[in-house]
Amino acid sequence: MPDLPDIPELIRLAVAARDRAYCPYSNHPVGAALVTDAGEVYTGCNVENAAYPLGSCAEQSAISAMVLGGGRAIRELVVVGPDDAPCTPCGGCRQRIREFAGPDTRVHACNERGVLLTVTLDELLPESFGPENLNQR
């Protein structure tokens, strides 16, 4: 299994993504950086539009970039919001993460200086519905 980038590097990448967010309606910029099981890193930022709230979350953007790049499994995820409060993924993003991550995948809510909160996907989305539920008879 490839080495993971260290958390400070993922935070740096998520902050750089956050700083490019387009959020004129919420004024809540968010950046995300994820690493796949192959050790590849993908980033994303939130993008809003005038038909608010029909936009894209940072996690959703990073997952889309991962899929476009051929990735299918999230090993670790960092999310950085606009301030020092932990910015955890919204409900929709929790389900999107669940599509590509296992119950032990770590999700880190961070600020520019470090990790504020770390949870597993199972803690973030307990008793979740996932792809394997559709394959059961």
Rounded distance between C-alpha atoms, residue 118 and residue 13, angstroms: 18
CB distance 117 to 124 below 8 Å: no
| Whether residue 132 has pLDDT greater than 80 | yes
Model confidence at 135, in pLDDT bands (50, 70, 90)? confident
Span 48-70, pLDDT tens digits: 999 988 899 999 999 999 999 99
User: What residues act catalytically?
Assistant: 59
d(CA 45, CA 21): 5
Indicate the SS3 state at residue 33: strand
pLDDT per residue over 81-130, tens digit each? Answer: 999 999 999 999 999 999 999 999 999 999 999 999 999 999 999 999 99
SS3 assignment, position 40: coil
What average pLDDT does the segment 65-78 reach? 98
3-state class percentages of the chain: helix first, strand second, coil last, to nearest 5: 30, 25, 45
For the chain, give every domain's residue range. 7-134
The fourth-level CATH superfamily of domain 7-134 is Cytidine Deaminase, domain 2 (3.40.140.10)
Residue 5 predicted with pLDDT over 90: no
Q: What pTM value is reported for the model? A: 0.94
